[in-house]
Amino acid sequence: MHILLHWAIVEVVTACSWTELVVAADKPVLVEFWAPSCVPCQMISSIVVELAKEYAGKVLCYRINIDDYPNVASQYGITSIPTVLFYKDGENKGSFTGVVAKSTLCAALNKYAE
């Protein structure tokens, strides 16, 4: 499933596709944990869409709805949203919780995108 927003596509990751899309990815990965009822999530979502466009070909950007996949959120220690996780080579390299500036996310991505 894809969500088309502002000229960029951010794919939805699920419990079934997590390992394939995130852990086994051949590029750095940004994963946004969100829920439809979360207003701050909407602000981060728009930033993630911009990042997906700007880092196309360098970083994979995904989102996962914790209402649909609470077990994934629990498995990865997500206790509040929005939360953004960064993965590289199958390993969690860091995270941010809450609304953070785009520049903060860019700085994190720049560490992993080569």
107 occurs within a structural domain: no
108 occurs within a structural domain: no
**pLDDT tens by residue, 99-109:** 999 999 999 99
Which is catalytic among the residues 16, 38, 61, 106? 38
41 included as an active-site residue: yes
Q: What is the pTM of this model?
A: 0.89
103 occurs within a structural domain: no
Give the domain CATH number at 76. 3.40.30.10
The reported pLDDT for the residue numbered 67 is 96
Could you give the count of Cα atoms lying within 13 Å of 25 in the half-sphere of its Cβ?
A: 25
**pLDDT tens by residue, 23-82:** 999 999 999 999 999 999 999 999 999 999 999 999 999 999 999 999 999 999 999 999
- Tokens 């997906």 belong to residue: 52
Identify the domain containing residue 47 by its residue range.
2-97
104 occurs within a structural domain: no
* Whether pLDDT at 2 is above 80: no
Contact by Cβ (8 Å): 6, 53: yes
61 included as an active-site residue: no
